[in-house]
Amino acid sequence: MAETNTHSQTHFIASLAAVMWQYYFAGQFALTLLLFYPYLWWCFRSPRRYHRALNVQRFWSEYLLDTVGIRVKIIGELPRPEEGPYVFTPNHRNFLDILLMYFVARGPFHFMAKAELARVPLFGILFSKTHIPFNRSSPSEASLAFRRGLGELKNGMSLVVFPEATQNPRADGLLPFKEGAFKLAEEAGVPVVGVYFENNLERLPHSRDLFRWPGRGGPGEVRIRIMPPVSGSAEFTRQHVRSTMEGWL
């Protein structure tokens, strides 16, 4: 009985600590974004300042993750920015994925992601001003976003596109891959770089499980696996990236 009580108390304390850390993460997210926001807003007023805005976002993400105790381990070789552009195709588990891509895509890039991100408080303005919202439910808007993404690639700007299209709450599987990212790479004639976030759900739960009991997650190491750039048809690159990720599961 005493051993059972001790186990229950330990589980309670661990869950409480995890929930408190999630609130701390959210608080630091908002506080640090507000801290950098005046300069970002100034950058937003001119397209010529995009690179400055991107550098501030990169510094902000690295500062935030360091503040909340997230350590990043890269497995594989990061692609050289001067050899780009690239289409990065990461798997998608939670909000950490977005912050961590600033560690991976070292050159200039745009996220190309669902338009709902533009409605996230504070972050939404940052996203809509410097990245490419993609509304899959509207064929005309989706076509416009695709053409814009293609134009950015041809102008030397890399893209980050989550082929699963939404956050996957399962750590033991992948959602179906949409072909848009791979079509963009094929039409622009640029390589695809698969990115696999190995244990993000161990650090931060899926968005639907945030601030819920029992708490999960906390500070620690995240591991990011980088695939060598691969070129070819959209179907070939899609299958290659997926099969490699499935081998790592």
d(CA 69, CA 80): 27
Of 16-20, 108-112, 191-195, the poorest mean pLDDT is in: 108-112
d(CA 23, CA 17): 10
- Report the SS3 class of residue 114: strand
Contact 195, 227 (CB under 8 A): yes
And the tokens for 173? 């599987």
pLDDT band for 11, please (50, 70, 90 cuts): confident
Q: How many CB atoms neighbour CB 190 within 10 A?
A: 20
Q: What percent of the chain has pLDDT over 90?
A: 54
Sign of CA dihedral 212, 72, 67, 39: negative
Contact 54, 160 (CB under 8 A): no
pLDDT band for 28, please (50, 70, 90 cuts): very high
pLDDT band for 6, please (50, 70, 90 cuts): low
Of 8-12, 84-88, 103-107, 184-188, the poorest mean pLDDT is in: 8-12
Q: Tell which wins on pLDDT, 141 or 148.
A: 148
Tens digits of residue pLDDT in 146-190 = 898 899 999 999 999 999 988 888 878 899 999 999 999 999 999
Name the average pLDDT for the chain: 88
Residue 237 pLDDT: 97
Residue 227 pLDDT: 97
Residue 121 pLDDT: 62
Contact 118, 139 (CB under 8 A): no
Residue 176 pLDDT: 94
Q: What percent of the chain has pLDDT over 70?
A: 90
Tell whether the model's pLDDT for residue 117 goes beyond 70.
no
Backbone dihedral angles phi then psi of residue 113, each to the nearest 5 degrees: -145, 175
Tell whether the model's pLDDT for residue 1 goes beyond 60.
no
Distance in angstroms between the alpha carbons of the first and the last residue of the chain? 38
Which CA distances in Å does 181 have to 38, 76, 153, 233?
33, 22, 11, 12
90: part of which helix (H) or strand (E)? Answer: strand 87-90
pLDDT band for 7, please (50, 70, 90 cuts): low
Contact 110, 152 (CB under 8 A): yes
Backbone dihedral angles phi then psi of residue 176, each to the nearest 5 degrees: -60, 140
Q: Tell which wins on pLDDT, 113 or 72.
A: 72
d(CA 66, CA 60): 10
d(CA 244, CA 241): 5
Q: Name residue, tokens 């990061």.
A: 78
For residues 137-142, give the mean pLDDT.
Answer: 76
Domains, the chain: 2-248 (3.40.1130)
